[in-house]
Structure 1
Amino acid sequence: MGQDLRNLFEEDQKDQHIKMSKGHEARFLQKLENEFPKEQKSASRLKILNIAASVVLLLGLGYGGYQYLKLPVESVEPIKVVNTEMKSLGDVSPDLKKVEDYYLASINLELSKVQLTPENKELFDGYVERLKELNDEYKTLTIELNTNGPNEATLDALINNLKFRLNLVMRLKDKLQEFNDDAFSEERV
């Protein structure tokens, strides 16, 4: 049963004596050549369109990814050079330096005039505590001045702080004077 396939094919070729008409092969090759370049041109156009579509797709995906991953501009802060010296109100302008020096000198002068006694110590401590709060607020405003730069709101707040401190010291002085007057009048009676 086992036959050699090679022998079968050789015998089959000998049995087939079909002859093609003259020029059949030449006509076939001519038709093939006429059709093949047309397919090649359309294939090259198709390749170009495929490449263009790929480029457009990649650009679209790249832009979409950029938009998706992009951080909002508001949240990105520029790098700031840290200045080790703290600016004060007086460093902004000479006129503001005069204002700052006037208020600080007046506050210190009025505090030096206060006579502290055991009777008025509690009143004095209350005012000193409030002065410390105002001084801490002044330091915070000075940091804001250094961080944001000079602006009208910060400068006004610094000057108002100095005014409040001077007014507080003047009220302390008045209250102590009233306290001493009351104590002096009680001693006379």
Structure 2
Amino acid sequence: MAQDLRNLFEEDSKDQQTKMSEDHEARFLKKLENEFPKQQKSTNRFGILNIAASVVLLLGLSYGGYQYFQVPTKIVEPIKVVETELKSLGDVSPDLKKVEDYYLASINLELSKVQLTPENKELFDGYVERLKELNDEYKALTIELNANGPNESTLDALINNLKFRLNLVMRLKDKLQEFNDDAFSEERV
């Protein structure tokens, strides 16, 4: 039973002496060409998507790497801002901070109690304009405090400015009360 495979193939090829038709190879190549472009089109579409996805991924990783490895630059300006930061009255001493906080809280409280109506709007606007002037003067005094350092005259001027503003708000409140009382008594008559 053991036969040499080479001998078997030689005998088999002699027995079969069949020959393929002449146009068999041409028909085979034509069928192969018809099938090959179909596969190429579908591969091409996915190939373009793969390339686009790769480009997007590469750009994303590049940007992320750039952000991650970017060396932070030294920012000089915040240091300058801290050096030139204005000291207020409250920065000079804790007692003066209490005085400043008291006056500012009182001013804000009294302003919040004011009831603005169309009738008293003109009166209110006049007082608010004067308050703005006093506030600007307070800022100028604060700049002077920082330029010259704390001295008695500047500190007194800052405290007096706060007093003036509180008195102005109290006068505004009184005038509005009088205005409302006059309007109320005119309605009764």
Q: TM-score range by the shorter chain?
A: 0.5 to 0.7
Unaligned runs of 5+ residues in structure 1 are: 1-81
2-structure distance, mates of 1:92, 1:85: 13
1:32-71, aligned counterparts within 5 Å? Answer: none
2-structure distance, mates of 1:96, 1:85: 18
1-structure distance, mates of 2:141, 2:84: 17
Question: Which residue of structure 2 lines up, in the alignment, with residue 83 of structure 1?
Answer: 83
Quick check: which has more Rg, 1 or 2? 1
What secondary structure is seen at the aligned counterpart in 1 of 2:83? Answer: coil
Question: Which residue of structure 2 lines up, in the alignment, with residue 125 of structure 1?
Answer: 125
2-structure distance, mates of 1:171, 1:188: 26
2:188 pairs with 1:188 = yes
1-structure distance, mates of 2:85, 2:115: 36
1-structure distance, mates of 2:122, 2:187: 20
1-structure distance, mates of 2:83, 2:151: 18
1:11-50, aligned counterparts within 5 Å? Answer: none
2:121 pairs with 1:137 = no
Q: Post-superposition shift, 1:126?
A: 0.2
Displacement over 6 Å in runs of 4+: none
Give the letter aligned to residue 93 of structure 2: S
- CA offset digits 1:136-162 (Å, max 9, x no partner): 000000000000000000000000000
Question: Which residue of structure 2 lines up, in the alignment, with residue 115 of structure 1?
Answer: 115
1-structure distance, mates of 2:111, 2:127: 11
Unaligned runs of 5+ residues in structure 2 are: 1-81
Q: What TM-score, normalized to structure 1? A: 0.56
Q: Post-superposition shift, 1:89?
A: 0.0
1:165-176, aligned counterparts within 5 Å? Answer: 165-176=165-176
Question: Which residue of structure 2 lines up, in the alignment, with residue 22 of structure 1?
Answer: none
2-structure distance, mates of 1:147, 1:170: 32
1-structure distance, mates of 2:86, 2:140: 11
Question: Which residue of structure 2 lines up, in the alignment, with residue 76 of structure 1?
Answer: none
1-structure distance, mates of 2:186, 2:173: 20
Identity of counterpart residues, as a percentage?
Answer: 95
Q: Post-superposition shift, 1:84?
A: 2.0
Give the letter aligned to residue 118 of structure 1: P
- CA offset digits 1:27-49 (Å, max 9, x no partner): xxxxxxxxxxxxxxxxxxxxxxx
Q: What TM-score, normalized to structure 2? A: 0.56
RMSD over aligned CA atoms reads 0.9
